[in-house]
Amino acid sequence: LTVSRPPCHQLFYAEPDHIESGLIHFSREETSHMVSSLRLKAGESITATDGRGRLIEAELREAERGRAVAEVLCVEEVPPPDVMLTLYQGLIRPQRMDLIVEKCVELGINRLVPLVSERALERGTEARLKRWRKIAIEAMKQSLRPHLPAIEPATAFGDALRDVAGLDLALVAHQEEEGGAGLEAADVRIGKGTIGLFIGPEGGFSDAEIRVLAERGARLFGMGGARLKSETAAIAAVAIIRRLLD
């Protein structure tokens, strides 16, 4: 059996280890959303995902305050996208970082590495990481995608640098390139593989950081003539890259 896609206008999430023996046990939050906000009742059909590519058609067996359990009816395995896109994002102010997580997950990143680069505004805390992961789940549900992007802990620039060699394509947004090549010229249509997109914090990457990224083979690109805020550059670049890959 396969689930028709888009199967519904509402996608629910359950962690993989909360799905067993044909039953889905929803978290307290998801239960509250189902029962209190949407007023779903036992017997109703829902669609859920484990965030690992499974779209699950299920029927609610229990739907009470604090407890929602559904029976799995059928499962479709959705393959991951051909091109896995990781955003390496220099850390910026909390509200604007939250915006990046929400919008870039909607627009189709597969992994986010918050970067502690030279001009990053902060180091990233455990609480922030938890918050980003929550935002990512909501954005995944919003966009009806069954793959939950990995949100990594804040990572030192030097450590992220080690990823570059393993990427099929590394791209760096660079203000100085404004008269230069845009994303089209960067030839992002790699067909299948991994792309890493590096976006600096406010103030951008330092000259030394740009130099070492370029030395490792990353391609610099400009975002047109205007000066963009860091979060605007990230959202716009992800939108354009996903569009070029489609």
**Residues found near its own copies in the complex (CB under 8 A):** 6, 9, 99, 103, 106-108, 142-145, 182-184, 224, 226-229, 232, 235-236, 239-240, 242-243, 246
Least CB distance to its own copies at residue 170 (A): 20
**Residue number with CB closer to its own copies (87 or 183):** 183
Alpha-carbon torsion 25, 29, 33, 35, what sign? positive
DSSP 154: P
Least CB distance to its own copies at residue 184 (A): 7
| CA–CA dist 240, 246 (Å, integer) | 10
What's the farthest any 2 CA atoms get from each other in the chain? 60
| Rg over CA atoms, the chain | 20
Q: Within its chain, how far is the Cα of 224 from the centroid?
A: 25
**Residue number with CB closer to its own copies (214 or 240):** 240
Least CB distance to its own copies at residue 158 (A): 28
**Residue number with CB closer to its own copies (119 or 242):** 242
Least CB distance to its own copies at residue 159 (A): 30
**Residue number with CB closer to its own copies (50 or 231):** 231
Of 149, 52, 160, 175, the closest CA to residue 115 belongs to 160
